[in-house]
Amino acid sequence: MKHLMTLLLAMTLIACQPQNNTKPTTDAVTVADAQAFLERVEKTYLEEGEYAARIAWIQANFITDDSIWLGAKSIEKMGALSVKFANEAKRFDALDLSDDMRRRLNIIKGGLTIAAPDDAEKNAELAQIMAKLEAMYGAGKYCVEGDCKNLGQLSRVIAESRDHAALLEAWQGWRTVSPDMRPKYQRMVELANEGARELGFADTGAMWRAGYDMPASEFPQELDRLWTQVKPLYDSLQCHVRTKLTEHFGAEVMGDDGMIPAHLLGNMWAQDWTAVYDLVKPADAGSTIDVTALLAEHDYDAKKMVKTAEGFFTSLGLDPLPETFWQRSLFTKPQDRDVVCHASAWNIDNVDDIRIKMCIKEDYEDFVTIHHELGHNFYQRAYNDKSILYRTGANDGFHEAIGDTVALSITPQYLKDIGLIDEIPASSNDLGMLMKKALEKIAFVPFGLLVDQWRWQVFSGDISPADYNAGWWALRNQYQGVKAPMARSEDHFDPGAKYHIPGNTPYTRYFLAHILQFQFHRELCKAAEFEGDLHRCSIYNNQAAGDKLNKVLAMGAERPWQDAMEVIANSREMDASAVVDYFAPLKVWLDEQNQGRDCGW
């Protein structure tokens, strides 16, 4: 799951107004005042946003004390501006305004990821903490007697090793980078909550939940509804994977509580299980297409991988990326400095200076990731004629879903169309493909849900600072049926070992994206008049699907997300039934395998 850098850390929409203690008045303001205020805000955000984005780019690509200092000052400045504008926007709450003006004002009030207190010293302190947390993560290493390994190296151990001791060391090794984050994170929560309360919200989590064009109190119920649709499929997958991993590692390693130790699943955070495919795959699935080997065979380097992904979008009728994209993006990890390798898409000037930042490996995972990141970039450019306040996704899940929707079209047909394979394998291989895709997509769904469940409870105080780690693992146990492989205490801060926690990136967007991408895929395949199993559909080179996709991209956030859903999905509701449709053959097979097994935890 990839971090989207945006103008103000994140721009979200707010449908219902926070309750303020002081009732706003219109004694001194008019509609003309509101219009002048909006024009001033938009001009300021266009100018200051580019400056802030360039500093953030430097900080992410050149991690030094100086770039961290510059990043902190930039965050401080933008945070103060955002809070200032959010407080000013409240002056117009009681005016009778057009829907467009009201929407833009609501975005100004609700468009903060972290709201700094309206106090210069606290604002500066918060900015310094945020910059330091991100830098601590980016420069994190696990060292033993001078031999240091970074996240990429440790992740390769988790993905490739089958030695229990090596897996355990890599897993706990990366988590040595996060305990020092804990006091800083606790203080950040205190300051962020103070800022959120000044804007009329109960806490920062309440501010986040208000950004979805629906009553904030109903949003968690919507998430539960979507999770309930997917949970039976996840439960079946978890039971099968646990059984197969027990056969390999032994019952002593696995335990008897129905859960899976987190270090055995092939991913540093147990959010993607594709690396254990060889241990859990159907015996009669046949061989799946080894895209990594094919990329090497066809001499793909990082830039060629990006060019190929660009070709997917241009095949749908979208214009090619600007030349500056190729000049200014970071495609490979520099050898001479630390960078934040976490893949991200950037919109520097909110017009057409779009970039990606990746440490690309020539493998299948990054081939898919590139399609995802370019989805952000093409989305960013599609809405660049809107008000700066509308230059974002219909909701944050949309932005993450678009690239993933395209990646679902990386099917055998697509691989044949771009020349990586000569013949499309028979459908008898589909079970293996679906298993591999489920290990990537379905395994992620509960993780995508629980990260913000933890943060919302931290922000509200339901999880106290004394229980940060215990609260984290309680949710991992509850939703994923995944457990820590060794005793963890409050001396640890395992949430900080996941980028989005120190990076302060809301995570519910990724959960939503994993639902929406299948819903979007199903509807785009209908537009393409595809007939057959949903998992075999590719919209590559289909103009009808491209027209539908481009229409929703161009909307940005100008209308509520329900309007955008209607354009792309012919429905005003999010619906996880497309996930069930996509994986239907696998679900039947999993349930057959699980007969007689002791499932559940």
Indicate if 342 belongs to the active site. Answer: yes
Residue 362 CA, distance from chain mean position: 22
Amino acid found at 87: N
Specify the DSSP element, H or E, that contains 365.
Answer: helix 364-382
Indicate if 492 belongs to the active site. Answer: no
Which is catalytic among the residues 134, 169, 373, 558? 373
Which is catalytic among the residues 342, 371, 514, 535? 342
How far is the C-alpha of 191 from the C-alpha of 403, rounded, in Å? 34
- The residues, any chain, with a CB within 8 Å of residue 221's CB and separated by 6 or more, are none
How far is the C-alpha of 365 from the C-alpha of 113, rounded, in Å? 29
SS (H, E, C) 35-86: HHHHHHHHHHHHHHHHHHHHHHHHHHHCCCHHHHHHHHHHHHHHHHHHHHHH
Indicate if 343 belongs to the active site. Answer: yes
SS (H, E, C) 279-347: HHCCCCCCCCCCHHHHHHHCCCCHHHHHHHHHHHHHHCCCCCCCHHHHHHCECCCCCCCCCCCCCEEEE
- The residues, any chain, with a CB within 8 Å of residue 553's CB and separated by 6 or more, are 378, 379, 382, 383, 402
Q: Dihedral angle at the C-alpha atoms of 8, 12, 17, 23, nearest 10 degrees?
A: 10
- The residues, any chain, with a CB within 8 Å of residue 36's CB and separated by 6 or more, are none
How far is the C-alpha of 120 from the C-alpha of 131, rounded, in Å? 17
Beta strands 147-150 and 482-483 are: unpaired
Indicate if 514 belongs to the active site. Answer: no
Indicate if 510 belongs to the active site. Answer: yes
Indicate if 262 belongs to the active site. Answer: no
512-to-3, 231, 356, 580 alpha-carbon distances in Å: 14, 14, 22, 15
Contact of 272 with 443, CB cutoff 8 Å: yes
Which is catalytic among the residues 125, 400, 523, 558? 400
Which is catalytic among the residues 372, 399, 492, 521? 372
How far is the C-alpha of 68 from the C-alpha of 48, rounded, in Å? 18
Largest CA distance in the chain: 75
Indicate if 131 belongs to the active site. Answer: no
What is the side-by-side order of every strand in the sheet holding 3-4? 3-4, 344-347, 354-357
Which is catalytic among the residues 376, 514, 521, 535? 376
Indicate if 134 belongs to the active site. Answer: no
Residues marked active site are found at 342-343, 372-373, 376, 400, 500, 510
